[in-house]
A = this chain, B = another copy of it.
């Protein structure tokens, strides 16, 4: 069950000039060996339970416009969710929203550990190394994670279009998220909300706690409703709307205004 080489994180524009480091934990719906599709049919493999549709395209559009580094997941979140601790119920969920995930119903401790070794550990080592490199170079990162959420969840429609989430470990953790929200309200007509459709209290800031909080780095988690980024054209259009929002938020925060 082990994969000797593992699946390394995707890294693009590692030497980009911006302080912003974009991260896309749910970029991929790949189900490679040795796991395969975990018993899911093709529809389920393409659905939001397997990945965040549109998030990688949006993140790439932002990276190009902001000249920012981008680190993204190489496999489906159902193999190991990179934004959950290895013992979290959501790391390798046996059920996601309304669907069973047969390949995750009876995972031995050794198989869990093998997924950690092949997916979780190399991803976080790569991101940690990039963050430490940039800190050493005097270019303290601003960590921005890029996600998408489903418009209807457990039968209920979600009105929010753009959620901006921050961790809650330390005072000051909300700083960048509040600036992003303010810029979104000023510069776009998106229905934007703070800590929606969920928040740090729901356990969605694991990656920020590993990589941003220990160094006191500004951070935000962006959540875009996935019907707004449902095609490459829509991803590009959203990147064009949100890149100036991020740029303004960062400039305002750095200016101390």
Taking Cβ atoms with an 8 Å cutoff, the residues of A that contact B are 85-87, 109-110, 112-113, 115-117, 120-121, 124-125, 128-129, 132-133, 135-138, 140, 169-170, 206, 209-210, 213-215
Contact = CB atoms under 8 A, between A and B. Distances in A.
B214 A135 contact: no
Contacts of A136: 86-87, 109, 112-113, 115-116
A89 to B, nearest CB: 13
A113 B137 contact: yes
- Which 4 A-B residue pairs are closest in the complex by CB-CB distance? A125-B125, A86-B136, A209-B214, A112-B136
Contact of A138 (B109, B124, B206): B109
Contacts of A124: 128, 132
Nearest to A86: B136
A132 B120 contact: yes
Nearest to A91: B136
A135 B87 contact: yes
Contacts of A115: 136
Which of A85, A112, A170 has the most chain B CB atoms closer than 10 A to its own CB? A85
Nearest to A92: B136
Contacts of A137: 109-110, 112-113
A113 B136 CA distance: 5
B116 A133 contact: yes
Given A87-B135, A116-B132, 14 more contacts: A85-B214, A86-B135, A86-B136, A109-B137, A112-B136, A115-B136, A116-B135, A116-B136, A117-B133, A120-B132, A121-B133, A124-B132, A125-B128, A169-B213
Contacts of A85: 135, 214-215
A126 to B, nearest CB: 9
A207 to B, nearest CB: 9
Nearest to A115: B136
B138 A132 contact: no
Contact of A169 (B116, B140, B169, B206): B169
A35 to B, nearest CB: 15
